[in-house]
Structure 1
Amino acid sequence: MTKYIKNPMNSNEQMNLKEKLDWLADRYLKNDRDEIFADYLREILKVDIDGSIIPEPVRDPLTNEVRGLMVIGASQTGKSALIDRNLKHLGIFSKMDGDAAGNYVHCRVPADATIKSLGQLVALATGYQVSDRSKGHEVWTIVRHRMKEFGVKLVWIDEAHHLLRPGAGRDVAGAVQALKSLLQENTGVSVIISGVPKLEEVILKDEETALRFVTLNLFPMTEGAGEFERFQRFIQICADKLGVGMPRDPHFAERIVFAMNGELGRSIKLAKAILRQALTSGKVELTLGDAARTYKMLHKHTQAGPFDAGTWPVVKATLIELGWV
């Protein structure tokens, strides 16, 4: 389970390289989005007398329908990490993974998925393999039956935008209708769908479906805001724990965020990659050159970049002139 950093100054002397790498990979940056996500969950899930979320959908007493949550953000913004971490942290959900144990289903939609193949994935998560010969509506009849039978309370469809790609043999309207029907049917489940902005764009074209989802948009970080300050502290805490000295540049975190267009998830991924390279190469102190090499390795960048030598305001201005923003 993902852990918070509670004491950054613990000695790292007893950690070998593998332990350090595992520790780094497991880090999660708690941020404002966690509380915001919880607020949105309270819109689709019930709360007890103390205001704690419970695994039971909020149901409209007039229509008997439930509501869904749509989480939207650019690729690698941290959508999946946010949802996964917070569902685990609540302590009220357990994921079904090929058997009938658990009360929520998580399906990551493949790029070539259809609404039928998604239904097969959901059924498989509940421990039932649907024949390829079954028709799409038959697959979803089985899915709804199994979710009701085994007490599934939440379905999370990750990378849901893949369902809405146009093309031969694909049914965008049918996919939207299927998402809506999950909230209409008397299955007792709430639905989270997550994906890139294209997902929201398509859903909004169907007013009936759009009205059934509340939407959480994950926007880029702003320098100087609380989220950025937490990110900056996160890097320092990780470096201290791992025994790696930070670059002698007060704007190092800003360079990372600029390189990743302000996206929190991508910024964390790059920061971890830079630290990981330092660990595996035996460095005890990072330089901007080290960060530049890692960045260029991951992003195939060979021209001027955010980790170039020079004061950050000058480097940033040059990059903006070159069209980085």
Structure 2
Amino acid sequence: MTNASKGINLPVDELRNLHIGTPSYRSLKDNLARLFRAGPDGTLTHEPVLFTRGTETHGIILIAGAGAGKTPDIGEAIGSIEALTDNHETGVPRYIHVTVGSPATLRSLAVQFLEKLGLDGVGDRVKVHELWTMVRRRLQRLGISLVVVDEVHDMFRSTPGSETDAMFRMMKSLMQGDHPVVLLLGGTERLLAVTGLDAQVNRRFRKVIAQPLDCGGNADSIHKTVAFYAGKAGLALSIRDDLAVRLIHGARYRFGRCVEITIAAIDEALRAGDDTLTGQHFETAWGMEEGCPLTANVFAVEDFMSIQLEDDDEIGERIQVAREKKRRAKATPKSKRGKKVA
């Protein structure tokens, strides 16, 4: 890596490590704090608050679209409770963060939990209920108080309903017993639609919903965010009045994506040796990210609001449907393919 590249990468990396609090983040932080007991001096401890006569914990469901900044918000909220970030007895944090793999099964989810808990290479012959018993024991042994399960909506892409219900029941059971933990589930809007059908989920989980940005109500704050990041990178700012609205639309109305696009534009400016961040840098950065022609670039055309942008969740859903069709086609005998009914 050249010295010039280092001089660009360092400030860009620093920008990526910044965190700006949003209303949904503040709500997440506040609700998470309510689920842990305070010590004599008022400082939050790692001990969960127990409900239902001391028999179970409660949890949080964080709903945020792809690119809203859900994962950074979770990390910052956990970091605000010092007792969760370090266990002096074990040398590891008092929480684990699991991202659901797709497709997910009760077994694969248990294996993911165990890997995060330091147990790799679990044998295929171990029964599923034994795996979850191992999970419980490891949570207790390591003094884990918080379990974060991210991308939970992926459990609903191709997993049978009965399997999904079993996974939910098993995760909820971690909130009871001799060592109950707090659960923080994160996912897109699909998660809210599914969990809303479960009365026990509604009772046990607080809901934090990251609202999409609004062009009228949030344009000014997004403009200030762009100016803030440009200033941090040592750049002046020269953008047209409607760039914030273009940015909101191009980011699918997600705050996290607005930040990512802004940082990418700043990176373009620094690599070009420019001292001012302009709309051209946004046009270049967004075009490379989207792989779109100039006529479909929200930072290039006048009627940018007419450009229809697909969401990652919608794309993922279509990919999964296509995979299922391909799988069913392979499972169908050749003699039956294309046969018409008289």
For normalisation by structure 1, the TM-score amounts to: 0.83
- How far 1:61 sits from its partner (Å)? 4.4
**Map 1:207-226 → 2, pairs under 5 A:** 207-223=199-215, 225=217
CA distance in 1, matches of 2:279, 2:271: 17
CA distance in 2, matches of 1:289, 1:167: 44
CA contact (8 A) 1:112 1:162 kept: yes
Aligned amino acid, residue 281 of structure 1: A
- Structure-2 residue corresponding to 1:119: 110
- How far 1:278 sits from its partner (Å)? 1.4
Aligned amino acid, residue 228 of structure 2: I
- 1:140-168: CA deviation from partner (whole Å, max 9, x where unpaired): 10000111122110000111122233346
- Structure-2 residue corresponding to 1:260: 251
CA contact (8 A) 2:220 2:244 kept: no
Change (3 A) 1:93 1:42: closer
**Map 1:1-325 → 2, pairs under 5 A:** 16-48=7-39, 52-62=43-53, 64-94=55-85, 101-129=92-120, 130-167=122-159, 171-223=163-215, 225=217, 229-302=220-293, 303-308=295-300, 315=302, 318-321=303-306
Give me the CA root mean square deviation.
2.7
CA distance in 2, matches of 1:89, 1:224: 32
CA contact (8 A) 1:68 1:190 kept: yes
Aligned amino acid, residue 304 of structure 2: L
CA contact (8 A) 2:33 2:81 kept: no
CA distance in 2, matches of 1:48, 1:299: 49
- How far 1:295 sits from its partner (Å)? 0.9
Aligned amino acid, residue 194 of structure 2: V
The structure with more radius of gyration = 2
Identity %: 24
Query: For structure 2, which runs of at least 5 residues remain unmatched after alignment?
Result: 1-5, 311-342
- How far 1:173 sits from its partner (Å)? 1.6
- Structure-2 residue corresponding to 1:6: none
Change (3 A) 1:186 1:54: same
CA contact (8 A) 2:298 2:305 kept: no
Residue-pair matches, total: 301
Change (3 A) 1:172 1:259: same
- Structure-2 residue corresponding to 1:3: none
- Structure-2 residue corresponding to 1:10: none
CA contact (8 A) 2:32 2:77 kept: no
Query: For structure 1, which runs of at least 5 residues remain unmatched after alignment?
Result: 1-14, 310-314
Give 3-state SS (helix, strand or coil) of 1:262's partner. Answer: coil
CA contact (8 A) 2:68 2:210 kept: yes
Give 3-state SS (helix, strand or coil) of 2:175's partner. Answer: helix
Give 3-state SS (helix, strand or coil) of 2:80's partner. Answer: helix
CA contact (8 A) 2:246 2:304 kept: no
- How far 1:184 sits from its partner (Å)? 2.7
CA distance in 2, matches of 1:250, 1:320: 15
